[in-house]
Amino acid sequence: MGDLPGRSRYLGLAAALAAMGHGVQAESSEKAALSAFADNCLSPHLTARAANEAFAGPEIRHDFYDLDPFSAPAPSPAAGMPTPGTDRRCEVTFDGDQGAQAAETARAALAAEGITTEAPLPATHTGAHRPGTTLLAARALNPGRVAVVHTGTRPGPNGPETFLRVERLTPEASREALK
């Protein structure tokens, strides 16, 4: 049978390394999802095809629609029901509870894009604050358009999930919000 205590130490070390590897993989998946949101979701040039490529991977889930695209040849329809008063959504989710990091990432991405002018939270989003919300804020994209950014944690398919979402209001909903 060989050296049983030595074998036990080896198996214990192997189990510890495997657990560390899983932690590293989860951490890198979280970083990839946060970076994907920051690098893509605020771009007016993002298309459904580009979103599918940017958010590819088993650890990242996304929801994207653009009913009034800035640069795409055709609208990207919503897979489900669009939020009333919005014409674009970019949402990234991943397993785990990283709501605080999601809020930091969203704030930094907004600042990097120069989207810093606060706007009133529109009526369409006043009920969006739920347990787990870490950021819910409206920002003026320009004098006539508003976006709502929402981050936090919620129940997901595999336990808690972290989400980062930005929704662009329609021109009509933006005018109403900016009154």
pLDDT for residue 177: 87
Give residue 157's pLDDT band: very low, low, confident or very high (50, 70, 90). Answer: very high
* DSSP secondary structure letter of residue 76: B
pLDDT for residue 27: 57
Phi, psi of 98 (to 5 degrees): -125, 40
Supply 18's token pair.
């495997």
Give residue 73's pLDDT band: very low, low, confident or very high (50, 70, 90). Answer: confident
Taking 90 as the threshold, does the pLDDT of residue 67 lie above it?
Answer: yes
pLDDT tens for residues 120-137?
A: 999 989 889 999 999 999
Instruction: Give per-residue burial for 120-150: e unless 16+ CB within 10 Å, then b.
Output: ebbebbeebeeebbbbbbbbbbeeebbbbbb
- Entry pTM: 0.83
- Rounded CA gap, 173 and 146, in Å? 8
Taking 70 as the threshold, does the pLDDT of residue 5 lie above it?
Answer: no
* DSSP secondary structure letter of residue 80: S
Average of per-residue pLDDT across 145-163: 97
pLDDT for residue 28: 79
pLDDT tens for residues 76-134?
A: 888 888 999 999 999 999 999 999 999 999 999 999 999 999 999 999 898 899 999 99
pLDDT tens for residues 18-55?
A: 444 444 445 578 999 999 999 999 999 999 999 999 99
pLDDT for residue 72: 73
Average of per-residue pLDDT across 50-63: 91
